[in-house]
Structure 1
Amino acid sequence: MSEAGKSLDILGVKPVADAVKTVTDGSVQGISALLSRICLPAAEEFGLLWRDKVSHWRARNAAKMAAHAARILDKDTSADKLSAHPRLVFKTIEDSSWTDDDVVLSLWAGLLASSCTESGNDESNLMFINLLSQLTSSQVRIIQYACENTKVYQSPSGWIMPSDLKIEAVDVALITKVSDMHQLDRELDHLRHLGLIEAGFDINTTEADITPTALALQLYVRSQGYVGSPIAYFELHGPVEMKNPSDLRQDIYSSIIDDEK
């Protein structure tokens, strides 16, 4: 650093700023590498728009999401033939960069991966991208839990259908790590408003109906990076059998304790 530069850097922050810029530039390059692979126009626009304007925090989040999406795509033997519509790619990068929650980022990664098709013109994931962008991390955990713990079946006419899933308020609190019951009530109300769960809290009890809708199941499947039929997805992976309430509560509690260690 020049003598003039040293005299101006009274607090000695320039080395820190330079380090942050280096990390940010590296994150942007990592994202650009994936975009160059699946959507060249988005890669070019992204590089121009974000290289100087994106914060280190957002770049790191987006880079983590992109790396996860790349790992999902690497499992597909035809990945080199897949690409995604620029509209979906840019919106996924933009919206995912605003969270550092690993659970939420994993769903964004799945949506980006499932946006990749051989034609590159499929915009069907846009509805799921818009839905996920409206969810809090607590709501994401509720949807993930509901879709992984309901029994899924196919209706006589061929539609995907869930079985009823009801749990106690304390279990909702353990799943979301939110202890404010009124906040949880709002969270469930919002999920119901978005058409992702059937009901919410029973006004006469502390029981919550978190049965996922068919739309929620389809959102979940796409957020796992799967682009086929949701019926096929659940047949391949199998619905999770519900445990009795006491065992279920212990499993949730143990998971939270492990996360805090």
Structure 2
Amino acid sequence: MNPMTSHSDFPSSEERRRAERRNSPSLAAYHWKGPLPRQNSVRDISATGAFLVTQDRWEPGEIIALSLQRKGPIEKENSFSVQAKAVRWDDQGVAISFVLPPGADLRLWQSPLKSASEQNEPEDIVREFRVAQAISFLSRISPETRDFMSRLLHEELSNYRLENALEIALNAEKMLGGSVQIDHLRARPHVVTRIVEGGSWSSDDKWMLQFWGGLLAASCTTNGGDETSLAFIDLLGQLKAIHLRILSAACTKATKLITGPGAISTRPLNWKAADLIKFSGSHDLIKLDRELNYMAELRVIAPRETSAFFQQMTDTTVAPTSLGLELYARCSGHRGTAQGFYGVPVTLAGAIALEQ
């Protein structure tokens, strides 16, 4: 070895793994030229970049917005949007390097549980990009959790729980937008881990995952010390998608009133059976009656009057409680007061109560 050459002049084993390029024949990278998407084949790809087989040309350093997915019609569910920088081009296409967010931990071809052919599939590659994006977001709102989250998402969760955890993190990131960086938002490490781990066990229903993502977003504050979400983590863990659909409709439609310091209530909604079927997505009225009683037991809606004798429900009253209203606001990503979320003015009765 040349004594003037340090070990840093040679790529580390980690760098070599990241730079390993493989072919994924079914993978495509789409870019938009005007209003139309253009499909480009990916000759090879690594964790640092790729080579696109394309007739389009970009100057070195130019930033390109790409969408990675399986070849075919544009997809929303199984695709990933990524920024890339043009490096060079030749008569076959353009070499690009990925521009990933800070803290992203992209690992391709490193799963000990999957064969090489499985890891070359477009869906597996897209999933690894989503994992990297989620780790970047979680490490920005809670730097202390970076190593734990990287290990959890890369190595420990089953495919089912991983997809749920990714949806929760990426939903929260979408809700917060640029405010994470602008407002320097942070969340308590144990709050973040409980939401991601706890939410990953829930059903893969989009309502559930949207609510968990909203709760994670609401847990982020400028001082990073908020722990009020802990009670809502336990509460949300006891609810199912059908409860959240009912609660969402009720909180949206009910008339809200401020009745005291920090207290918000609603006027009861009178729903016919057809309304309840529409909002819940279930046609089983016996089951719906049981689910409403369960929601009342958890105090997210007020108790209802019920007959001592069994009769099929034809109509009912639904009134979200202060707790239910607060839960819905939090799970919508709101970081302020429930009154602010619902835009509720103080009534005369409420003003008198506030003065007393």
TM-score range, shorter chain: 0.7 to 0.9
TM-score w.r.t. the length of structure 1 is 0.77
In the other structure, the counterpart of 2:82 is none
TM-score w.r.t. the length of structure 2 is 0.58
Q: Which moved more, 1:69-78 or 1:114-123?
A: 69-78
Q: Letter of the aligned partner of 1:111 in structure 2?
A: L
Q: How many residues align?
A: 226
Structure 1 residue 110 displacement after superposition = 1.2
Provide closer, same or farther for how the CA distance between residues 113 and 77 of structure 1 changes in structure 2, counting only shifts above 3 A: closer
Aligned structure 1 segments of 4 or more residues deviating by more than 6 angstroms? none
Structure 1 residue 125 displacement after superposition = 0.7
In the other structure, the counterpart of 2:322 is 214
Provide closer, same or farther for how the CA distance between residues 157 and 40 of structure 1 changes in structure 2, counting only shifts above 3 A: closer
In the other structure, the counterpart of 2:252 is 148
Superposition pairs of residues 205-244 of structure 1, within 5 angstroms = 206-235=314-343
Residue 257 of structure 2 aligns to a residue whose secondary structure is strand
Higher RCO (C-alpha under 8 Å, 6+ residues apart): 1
CA RMSD, aligned part only? 2.5
Residue 127 of structure 1 aligns to a residue whose secondary structure is helix
Structure 1 residue 28 displacement after superposition = 2.4
Residue 51 of structure 1 aligns to a residue whose secondary structure is helix
Structure 1 residue 43 displacement after superposition = 2.2
Contact 1:24–1:55 at 8 Å: present in 2 too?
A: no
The answer to whether the aligner puts 1:15 opposite 2:15 as a matched pair is no
Structure 1 residue 105 displacement after superposition = 1.6
Contact 2:179–2:185 at 8 Å: present in 1 too?
A: no
Distance in 2 between the 1:147 and 1:121 partners? Answer: 28
The one of 132, 135, 145 aligned to 1:29? 132
Residue 96 of structure 1 aligns to a residue whose secondary structure is helix
The answer to whether the aligner puts 1:109 opposite 2:217 as a matched pair is no
Which consecutive unaligned segments of at least 5 residues does structure 2 have? 1-114, 346-356
In the other structure, the counterpart of 1:184 is 288
Computing the radius of gyration over CA atoms, which structure comes out larger, 1 or 2? 2
In the other structure, the counterpart of 1:5 is none
Q: Percent identity?
A: 31
Report which of the two has the higher share of strand.
2
In the other structure, the counterpart of 2:47 is none
Superposition pairs of residues 16-95 of structure 1, within 5 angstroms = 16=118, 19=121, 21-74=124-177, 76=179, 79-95=182-198
Q: Letter of the aligned partner of 2:338 in structure 1?
A: P
Residue 343 of structure 2 aligns to a residue whose secondary structure is helix
Residue 100 of structure 1 aligns to a residue whose secondary structure is coil
Which consecutive unaligned segments of at least 5 residues does structure 1 have? 1-12, 238-261
